[in-house]
Amino acid sequence: MAEVLVSSKFEAKPQVSRTLKLWILLAGAIVGLLVVSLWAAVSGVSSSVFRTEASLVGAAMGGPIRILLPIVATLVCAPQVSAILNNRFVVYTRTRASIRGSLGKSVLVLVAQCFLVFFVIGSVLTAVAYWLMPLWFPSSVDPSLYNLTASEALASEASIAPLVNVLINHGAFAYVLSVGLWSAFHAVAFGLVAILAAILISRVFIAWLIPTGIFLFQSVMLQVLDFPAASFIGSATYPSGLSNFSLGQALLALWVLMFAAVATLTVIIFRAPVMDRFA
């Protein structure tokens, strides 16, 4: 059995360029998530009538992506960190490069990837839901069914989904970008938590579940405690709710997570030269 173990572990594999592989993985994540979200959006849109195009965006951003955000952010950010720590890559690299520098660089690159993935997904989904879906399903948007004019419908939508104010004040293009930025910043916060978990917890099986655990726990607790706007399930991809939605609460949740993650990660990078984890 020993031979089987060794040969399966160290078998020579055809080498693909690392960068190419990375781009294929990222593109796969984007396309896969987009396909699932669009499928869910189409199956929702084809059977109901919305009051404005903006409510259609809310429905598209309220599908599977709402739950998948922390998991995908983890799978984008955590593997590389776990790999360099568990393969003793760091130990060999440290003789040639400063650990602070290399760790900081990895974190920046991973955060940028995470940002890119969710910015693309958020803005593409919004653009499709705002411009294309009303063309595919012409009967899916009808404010008169709600006894509203188009502008009244937009105003009432803005009271439950605050980003619609961007649409009213700055136009559709800014709206699409703002939704992309909103979900990208939330994904970055969870990506940072994933990096942190991968550094602090050496058992990978557990470490990669931490961001999703925080997401689910925080969402259930705050929803049940009647602060739905501050729960990540209600605001991480697209802030919207059934009654008046306070953007302040949603931003507070993001700010707290981001602050905690950035502060702890800064301390870790700063202390990296003397931490046992990197030795």
Partner 1 sequence: MKITFRGFIYGISSAPTLILAAVMVSVTLYGTLVTWAGTDASAWVVLLSSLGTSQSIIVFGLLWWLVRIHAVAKWATNELVLVRSGSRVRALGGAVALALGELLATGLVIAIVSIASAPWRWHNEWHFSGGDQAIESFFTRPLTALLATGVYAAVAFMLVAILLFSVALRHGAQWAIGVSAVIYAWAAMSSFGVTDDVAVLDISRAFTLPWALTTGSFIFPLLLLAVAAFIAFRRVRVLDHFAHRRSWFAFDSRLAVLLPMLLSFVFAALAFVSMEHATQGELVVAFFAGDGGDLVLYLAAMGLILTGATVAIAPSVSSAEDRYTEESIRDGSARRWFTRHAVVWFLRSFAISAGIVLAVLAAALIVQPGTMAADLSRDAFIVFVRVAVQVFFYASLGQLLLWVAPIAVAWPTTIATALVLGYPFVLDLGDANVFAAFSTIHEGLPAIADWNSIYGAFACAVAAVIATAMRATTNRSPSSVRYQTG
Rule CB under 8 A: choose which of 5, 12, 20, 135 binds partner 1.
5
Rule CB under 8 A: choose which of 27, 28, 31, 86 binds partner 1.
86
Q: How far is the CB of 225 from partner 1 (least distance, A)?
A: 7
Q: Helix-strand-coil percent breakdown of the chain, rounded to 5? A: 80, 0, 20
253's tokens: 């949740």
Whole-angstrom Cα distance, residue 76 to residue 226? Answer: 32
Dihedral of CA atoms 11, 13, 15, 18 in degrees, nearest 10, equals -70
Q: Is 12 in the site for partner 1 (CB under 8 A)?
A: no
Q: Is 109 in the site for partner 1 (CB under 8 A)?
A: no
Rule CB under 8 A: choose which of 118, 119, 182, 208 binds partner 1.
208
Rule CB under 8 A: choose which of 52, 55, 80, 249 binds partner 1.
80
Q: How far apart are the first and last CA of the chain?
A: 32
Q: Is 68 in the site for partner 1 (CB under 8 A)?
A: yes
- Are residues 132 and 60 in contact, defined by beta-carbon separation less than 8 angstroms? no
Encoded one letter per residue, x for contact with partner 1 by CB under 8 A and - for no contact, window 171-200 reads ----------------------------xx
Whole-angstrom Cα distance, residue 73 to residue 197? Answer: 13
Rule CB under 8 A: choose which of 29, 52, 53, 63 binds partner 1.
63
236's tokens: 């991480």
Binding segment toward partner 1, per CB under 8 A, in 39-47, 110-118, 158-166, 168-176: 39-47
Rule CB under 8 A: choose which of 12, 18, 96, 138 binds partner 1.
18
Whole-angstrom Cα distance, residue 193 to residue 77? Answer: 9
The residue (of 111 and 199) whose beta carbon lies closer to partner 1 is 199
Place of tokens 């726990």: 217
DSSP codes of every residue in 8-36: HHH---PPPPHHHHHHHHHHHHHHHHHHH
Rule CB under 8 A: choose which of 52, 55, 74, 235 binds partner 1.
74
Binding segment toward partner 1, per CB under 8 A, in 70-78, 120-128, 152-160, 185-193: 70-78
163's tokens: 């980003």
Whole-angstrom Cα distance, residue 79 to residue 87? Answer: 12
Which stretches of the chain bind partner 1, using CB under 8 A? 1-2, 4-5, 8-9, 18, 36, 39-40, 43, 63-64, 67-68, 71-72, 74-75, 79-80, 82-83, 86-87, 199-210, 212-213, 216-217, 219-221, 223-226, 233, 263-264, 267-268, 271, 274-277
